Structure 1
Amino acid sequence: MLRSLLMTVCAVAPAVLPVQAVADTVTLRVLGQPSGSGLIAQQKELPYFEALAEKTGLDIKIEYLPVDVAGIPDTDGLRVLRSGLFDIVSIRGPQVSRDEPSVLGLDLIGQNTSFEAGRAHVAAFMPYVDSRLQSAFNAKLIGMWPAGPQVIFCKPEVNSLADLSGHKVRVGDQSAANFMAKLGATGISMPFGEVQQSLARGVVDCAITGPASANSGGWPEATTTVLPVPLQLAMNGYAINLRSLDKLSAEDQATLIAALEELTNEIWDFSEELYDDAMRCNTGATPCERGKPYSLTAAPVSDADLAAVSAAVTEISYPVWAEQCNAVAADCAETWQATVGALLAK
């Protein structure tokens, strides 16, 4: 009887072990950037997540889905994260700031007019935003990265910010809408995928985005001019549900976080490369290596326009944002002043 039982166990054991190994694999569902948003999503984010398990050696399975393919509004990124529907979300800063205003404090109009400034300001304020996401959305903010300097594309010819007066301008967030109002323009919010046709049909006269995104979206086909005054960097980032993170050991958590931090650093460098190349592509200059060549006119950038953008932080974007953020977290504006504000004052 004993011999028969041992033979049965030995016969069954090989079939049991693979089932246990499969059960140990942690599946992480990733909600990514929109599929048509540009080369950062296509050439950096998607390939990195597809290779993440092999790259890190972690026993994980990645299921990646672009936010537009998932049929989820990008404004719901933090809610989706909190619900646990997705484990990792590639959050779109301006869009999710409606649910968590502190995110917008990473990239107010006039705050990040260069990549160098953006890196410093994000590093200074991100710990606070992370603390807000952990308490309000049960999520850890791992890294933030820029889509690139946001500039203005117009169907009518423009030569300065003053020429925007009376025009309808597609904006990415309320900070930009407030700045447009100061210039006498009307800021209109709309999804990226609708902008090209809206420009062609005259629904909007101008629109704000990065040169690489504009190139990918075909905006130069419906516009004549680009005004390359950098307004902000359009920050995005990666956050993970804390319950999902706890499925991993402490060592594996550190490995995963380090990998996502590496991805954000790669995107910072790639974003800078894309900006320079896309500006050349959009205006018919060479070399144009990553985009489609167009023939937009690049309006001159005046000292007056640069000064107007820099002044917008203290005069327009910060006061409105501070009130909104303090309504959610009483220490929000105070923390921003002690971090980003202190750097801007230097």
Structure 2
Amino acid sequence: MKTLIGTLTAIPLLASTALAQDLPKTEINVVGNLGTTTQSRQLETPFWTEQVEKDSDGAITARFRPMNELGLKGSEMFGLLGKGVMNIATGQLGHHSGQDPINDGNDLAGMSANYDEFEKVSKAFFPILSDYYKEKLGLHLLTLQSYQSQVLYCAKEFKGLTDLKGKRVRTSGASQSDFVAYLGGSPIDMPFGEVQQALQQGVIDCAITSTVGGYTSRWYEGSNYIYDLPVNFGAGATVANGAWWDKLDPAVQSFLTKELDELSAKMWEQNRREDREGIACNTDGPCSIGEPAGQTLVEASDADLKLRRQAFLEGVLPGWLKRCGETCKNAWDNGLAEAAGMSAKAD
């Protein structure tokens, strides 16, 4: 019996080894997301620099660099990918919504209240975005992934969303700007690296970023309040140049698709976990990545949960549809609305 069990246990390993031996030698030029994030350091970087080569028995290797090490800001990533400057890239969808507003589709500010809702919308969005990338941009969508929830950091006393009226708020992307403007705030476009100092100097009153990202960038040195209400979730995507992808051996395509699906699942799991730790690190702990920052935690009221949905329906969604037109109206009516729990057709 032990021999039989041992033999059966070895079958998947032998099959995997055989598959790896059948893979043709392939070198991939990859540009990753912001290298300072825990997601990049702990998951993305070792995936491309170690795991892919190991799992392919040395057949597939990658030249990998995070975008910031190449001096890239983010918004140019998929444009360069389409020109063949790199083979695969991972980037924030919000960075690319200026050129192609459809990129905001699964992560519109105020649409999803939690990770479960965001993941459901992302699954519905995948085939929609995949078709658009293939037909319009010459790109092949590989995976969609998350970051931590995007929350408000404020310098002065903050009790809820109505306090945004008259405030200068650093936003990232058009839908966050629509959200803040609907609530009476003034959206400010500002590079991430300038935010901490701008909060300290009173240039801005509040700013939106992820729970861990704001902590590791020391935003607490310029802010005293953190609001535990997700505005959105910082959606990301891993994408390949379409012409390059189509020329790959089918076995390599299958291998990379499977490996990247597993990486994406790990990213979702990590961000769900780190999201809560980010709140703890910014407030009173416990915090495994540093000392608790001691900010005042502001929890969302039932009234603010309703106001967030109202801001989405009356401010964010109409703004997105106006920027994007028929393409996004069809996407909303034919999948996104239902996934988001909103059955009404877009006007």
TM-score class normalised by the smaller sequence: 0.7 to 0.9
Deviation of 1:33 after TM superposition, in Å, equals 1.2
Q: Deviations over 1:91-124 (max 9, x none)?
A: 2111111122111011111112211001110110
Partner of 1:294: 293
* Amino acid in structure 1 at the alignment position of 2:330: E
Aligned match of 1:339:
335
Q: CA 1:152 to 1:280, structure 2 compared with 1: closer, same or farther past 3 Å?
A: same
The reply to whether residue 258 of structure 1 matches residue 258 of structure 2 is: yes
- The answer as to whether partners of 1:278 and 1:291 remain within 8 angstroms in 2 is no
Distance 1:339 1:184 in 2: 31
The secondary structure found in structure 1 opposite 2:240 is strand
Residue 227 of structure 1 aligns with which residue?
A: 227
Other structure's SS at 2:28 match = strand
After superposition, residues 1-346 of structure 1 pair within 5 angstroms as 25-36=25-36, 38-51=37-50, 52-57=52-57, 59-286=59-286, 288-326=287-325, 330-343=326-339, 344-345=341-342
* Partner Cα separation in structure 1 for residue 291 and residue 186 of structure 2: 30
1:74–1:92 Cα contact (<8 Å) kept: yes
Do the aligned residues in 2 keep the contact of 1:95 with 1:173 (CA within 8 Å)? yes
How many residues are paired up? Answer: 318
Which residue identity does 2:172 align to in structure 1? G
Matches of 2:141 and 2:78 in 1, distance apart?
Answer: 11
Structure 1 segments unaligned to the other structure (5+ residues): 1-23
Quote how far apart the aligned CAs of 1:291 are.
Answer: 4.4
What CA distance in whole angstroms lies between the structure 1 residues aligned with 2:205 and 2:288? 29
Deviations 1:68-106 (A, max 9, x none): 111123111110110111111112111111122111011
For the pair shown, the structure with the greater C-alpha radius of gyration is 1
Identity of aligned residues (%): 27
**Runs of 4+ with >6 A deviation:** none
TM-score (norm 1): 0.88
Once residues 229 and 241 of structure 1 are traced to their aligned partners in structure 2, the CA distance between those partners, rounded to angstroms, is 36
> In the TM superposition, what is the alpha-carbon distance from 1:60 to its structure 2 partner?
2.2
Letter in 1 for 2:123: A
Q: Distance in 2 between matches of 1:293 and 1:48?
A: 30
Q: 2: CA distance between counterparts of 1:137 and 1:72?
A: 20
Instruction: Give unpaired runs (5+ residues) of structure 2.
Output: 1-23
1:247: how far off? 4.1
- Any conservation in 2 of the 1:81–1:137 contact (CA below 8 Å)? no
Helix, strand or coil: the match of 1:75? coil
Does the Cα contact within 8 Å between 1:274 and 1:290 map onto a contact in 2?
no
- The C-alpha deviation readout for 1:186-221, integer Å capped at 9, x for no partner, is 111222222112212222111101111111111112
Distance 1:146 1:301 in 2: 22
Contact persistence 2:98–2:174 (CA under 8 A): no
Q: Residues 171 and 207 of structure 1 are in contact (CA less than 8 Å); yes or no, is this contact kept in structure 2? A: yes
Amino acid in structure 2 at the alignment position of 1:341: A
Tell me, in whole angstroms, the C-alpha distance in 1 between the residues paired with 2:321 and 2:191: 25
1:148/1:210 contact within 8 Å kept: yes
Distance 1:117 1:141 in 2: 21
- TM-score computed with the length of structure 2 as normaliser: 0.88
- AA in 2 matched with 1:39: T
Shift in Å at residue 266 of structure 1?
A: 0.6
